[in-house]
Amino acid sequence: MSDNLILELIEQYLNGDMMPEERVQFELLRKKDASVDSKVVEHKLFIGLMKQYGERIELEKRLNAIHDEIDVHTLKEELMIHPNWIVSMWRHHHSKISVAASIAIFAILSTLFFTGKLNNHDSSLVQLRDEVSRIKTKTDNLDKKTNSFINQAHVKPKITNPGSFRGTGFALSSNGYIATNYHVINNADSIYVQNANGESFHAKVVYTEPQYDLAILQINDASFKDLGNVPYNFKRSFSDLGEGVYTFGYPGGEEVYGPGSLTASTGYSGDTTEYQVSIPVNPGNSGGPLIDDKGNIIGVISAKQTQVAGAAFAKKSAYLLKTIQNIPSDSLSKSLTLSTKNTLAGLSRPQQLKKLKNYVFMVKVY
Amino acid sequence: MNKELKASAPTDSEIVLGILNNSEIVLKRLYTTYFPMILQLIINNNGNEDDAKDIYQEAIIVLYNKIKSGEFELSSKLKTYIYSVCRRLWLKRLSQMNRYGGDIRDFEDHLPVDEELDTHNDRDIQFTKMESALQLLGEPCKTIMEDFYIHNRSMQDICERFGYTNADNAKTQKYKCLQRLKKLFFQQK
């Protein structure tokens, strides 16, 4: 039996076109021959698929026909959720808007470029910078002025620089009383005295006599020991003109010997409390002793401003003694006994100085 | 027209019965009743009206086949069923086009309809295979096959149409065509 015939039989069988006897025969064949059976199943399935295909084509045709009757466009307009006008405008016109914006930006930039506004070396900018630096300079100057003013007003009286306010002082007694100038210790926070060996002692002001520019200090340092007997004494009377005198002090931080002579019995502008001496003195000599050849203290160098070169002034020793007398007794914790014995008399000048050295102090003021 | 149709929205059981009875009127009413809903879904989720037409017709075919196969049970509103199928189909289409942003703007309630889509997918594959097999088959075989198996025309009609002198020749031709079609169909993957 050819495939062609079998297929025809299968089709007849599936379509129900067979006579009852033929049908029974065919079913027997199907049972006997598995290949015929599988052909029947396969054919049935395939025909079914073809029918499905046909139905779907048919259905789609019908649906399309229905669809064509619907006014989709109007429906769409109704159903579309319309975004707000900015979004829709952007959607519809974004290319135009972009082009317009680019042209605008380009135009602005090129205008700026050709008018020189984009140039960094803009003249108005330079002017502005100049202005700023001028103002800065002004402010700096003002600052400097203010600072110096503040320094003058506050810092200087406190005397933070020890170098410019050094003076000299000398011992009055072996237990640590020292005479110096009032202007040396005026406005001092604290006072130190330093001897020729470099030892420093704290000292306090016991008494001042601004009128004579004199001050009495007392060493109140724990490390201080007795000085030993003071080698000079104090002349009560006035000395005569032409007498050889000298001083010893620390004008520059170093001990300096200054020889000279008594040149006038009155001081500056006829001040009778002072001598005029021809000793070269510096401000650091202030408060130093003025000693005559015999080793008597005849005055205290006050080194006030010298109008004439080589001339200095010294307080007369009589006023020093007067000052000592004026000290109230309750400000003296120890007795202030002036020496009356002169051990310098008869010694040569270098030997006098050697002895003297231990009794003359550098006065440091802070 | 639209309003009028909406006013006469058919009931769900009317539709099921109408489809079973091949009622052209019911199919039309079904189609026009729910199309706006799907159009709204698609055009507001990155689609256009042609996408809406495709998706909606596919869903109608799913529903149609389900009713015809006798498996359809009216467990939910027909409206919800159609909407759910369309939604799933559209999501699939969006992800195929890489247009899916992970979110969809919904307008109706929806159900999970995975089973429907699986069945539909199978059918769809068979359909495409058959379509391309017939295309490859060429004339006159294609028309003979369609006329005989799909449109149920008799061999006499076919003989006359194609000018065969006797029915045996036509049968032989039909047999050859069928063999080729089967071959083409099953060769495809």
Using one digit for the tens of pLDDT, what is the confidence trace for A53-112?
888 888 888 888 888 888 777 777 777 776 667 777 787 788 899 999 999 999 999 998
Q: Does B27 touch chain A if contact means CB atoms closer than 8 Å?
A: yes
**Secondary structure letter of residue A296 according to DSSP:** E
Q: Does B167 touch chain A if contact means CB atoms closer than 8 Å?
A: no
Query: A360 with A288: CB under 8 angstroms?
Result: yes
What is this model's ipTM? 0.78
Closest among A64, A77, A47, A76 to B58, alpha carbons compared: A64
Domain boundaries, chain A: 3-69, 120-158, 163-365
Q: Kindly give the pairing relationship between strand A191-194 and strand A360-365.
A: antiparallel
Q: Is the model's pLDDT at B53 over the cut of 80?
A: yes
Distance from CA of A76 to the nearest CA of B (A): 7
Closest among A59, A122, A68, A26 to B24, alpha carbons compared: A59
CA distance from start to end of chain A: 142
The pTM for the full model equals 0.46
Q: Which residues contact B167 (CB under 8 A, 6 or more apart)?
A: B155, B156, B159
Q: How much is the mean pLDDT over chain A?
A: 81
In this structure, the number of other CB atoms found within 10 A of the CB of residue A109 comes to: 12
A47: nearest CB among B36, B134, B149 = B149
Distance from CA of A102 to the nearest CA of B (A): 29
The residue to which tokens 């050295």 are assigned: A357
Q: Does B121 touch chain A if contact means CB atoms closer than 8 Å?
A: no
* A304 vs A311: CA distance, rounded Å: 10
Task: For residue range A200-229, list pLDDT tens digits in order.
Answer: 888 988 898 888 888 998 988 888 888 888
- φ and ψ of B78, to 5 deg: -60, -35
In this structure, the number of other CB atoms found within 10 A of the CB of residue B130 comes to: 22
Predicted confidence at residue A157, as pLDDT, reads 44
Q: Does A45 touch chain B if contact means CB atoms closer than 8 Å?
A: no
Collapse the DSSP code of A49 into the 3-class scheme (helix H, G, I; strand E, B; otherwise coil) and give the result. helix
* A67 vs B57: CA distance, rounded Å: 9
* A243 vs A350: CA distance, rounded Å: 19
* B50 vs B56: CA distance, rounded Å: 10
Please give the average per-residue pLDDT across B132-142, as a whole number: 83
State the fold for domain B2-112: Rna Polymerase Sigma Factor; Chain: A (1.10.1740)
Sign of the dihedral through C-alpha A215, A216, A219, A220: negative
> Which has the minimum average pLDDT: A22-26, A217-221, A261-265, A347-351?
A22-26
Please give the average per-residue pLDDT across A334-363, as a whole number: 85
CB-based burial label for B40 (10 Å; 0-12, 13-18, 19+): buried
B61: nearest CB among A50, A56, A79 = A56
Return the CATH class of domain A163-365: mainly beta
Distance from CA of B79 to the nearest CA of A (A): 17
Query: Does domain B120-187 sit in CATH 3.90.1210?
Result: no
Domain boundaries, chain B: 2-112, 120-187
| Cβ <8 Å between A62 and B150 | no
* Residue A34: band (very low, low, confident or very high) from pLDDT cuts 50, 70, 90: confident
The residue to which tokens 């000048």 are assigned: A349
